[in-house]
Amino acid sequence: MNILDKITQHKRGEVISRMHQKSIQELQESETYFRECNSMKEAIRNGSGIIAEFKRQSPSKGIINSEAKPEIVASEYTNAGVSGVSVLTDEAFFGGKDQDLLAIKEVVATPVLRKDFVIDSYQIHEAKALGADVILLIARILNPDQTKEFTEIAHGLGLEVLLETHSEQEIEKHYFDSIDLIGINNRDLDTFQVDIENSIRLAQSLPKESIKIAESGLGNPETVIRMKENGFDGFLMGEAFMKHTHPGKACKKFIEQLKPVSHEN
């Protein structure tokens, strides 16, 4: 059993527990449930394309930054010029908390992605109640019918969808025109090996007008520049910034190094 299988298995029990603690009706009574969402798709089209992540730890890297405060980091990311903020809310494997997302939405208008492992429609209502603008759907842990169903539910709530893929087969089975953002993970979740060439090849099979997001293994500006040149619009980055004492400063420096490319485009 690989790490994604372990996370998914744990998540099933977690979701059942959460449903018993708070019903969908109770989620819908939340003040944030009716807040209008901000478009990450438009922010990426009109900005740096960087989606900077708040992440305390990961199964592969262990503790990355246990001291950082979500609202401070998100504010610094926004001031640095990001197109979006991603926040991991999975607690068991990533040390995330729902409160992190709520805290971030209190201080920034930047579109926020709730990065979690969605296996049940309940989690989409939960994301809306927490103030998210975008949800992540991982093709690897869903069947195509679930991808479509969850996308329709998300859109009905005003949320955008980032679909994460890693293979040609996943793209063929799960991608359709209503997907807002199509992510290609450079990291193989079985081996944790990063392969930029695989992602560049896969991007060529997607419609030109699709908003393509590169994920993982984007530690230096040169890699992002190369991905831009090969059709990618957005770049989801976490560890590259969070490993620094001041993630926001690292993010600002990184984006500044991309500006000459932005001017050429």
Separation in Å, CA 100 to CA 45, 103, 130, 149:
26, 5, 9, 27
Which domains does the chain possess? 3-264 (3.20.20.70)
Top pLDDT among 60 and 181 is at 181
pLDDT of 63 over the 50 cut: yes
For the chain, give the mean pLDDT: 93
E strand map for 62-179: 62-63, 84-88, 112-115, 134-138, 160-165
Residue 264: per-residue pLDDT: 43
Residue 265: per-residue pLDDT: 41
Q: Which of 5, 11, 2, 40 is nearest to 182 (CA)?
A: 40
Contact predicate 265/224, CB 8 Å: no
Give me the residue label for tokens 């957005």: 234
Positions marked catalytic: 53, 55, 115, 164, 185, 215-216
Average pLDDT over residues 110-117: 98
Neighbours of 159 (CB within 10 A): 23
Q: Which two tokens stand for residue 62?
A: 């262990």
Give me the residue label for tokens 């079985």: 190
Residues 165-221 pLDDT 10s: 999 999 999 999 999 999 999 887 776 778 888 889 999 989 999 999 999 888 899
Q: Which of 94, 54, 56 is nearest to 76 (CA)?
A: 54
pLDDT of 262 over the 60 cut: no
Query: For 83, which DSSP code?
Result: S
E strand map for 7-130: 50-54, 57-58, 62-63, 84-88, 112-115
Average pLDDT over residues 22-51: 96
Q: Which of 123, 127, 121, 79 is nearest to 102 (CA)?
A: 127
Residues 131-173 pLDDT 10s: 999 999 999 999 999 999 999 999 999 999 999 999 999 999 9
Residue 103: per-residue pLDDT: 97
pLDDT of 260 over the 70 cut: no
Q: Which of 157, 160, 161 is nearest to 34 (CA)?
A: 157
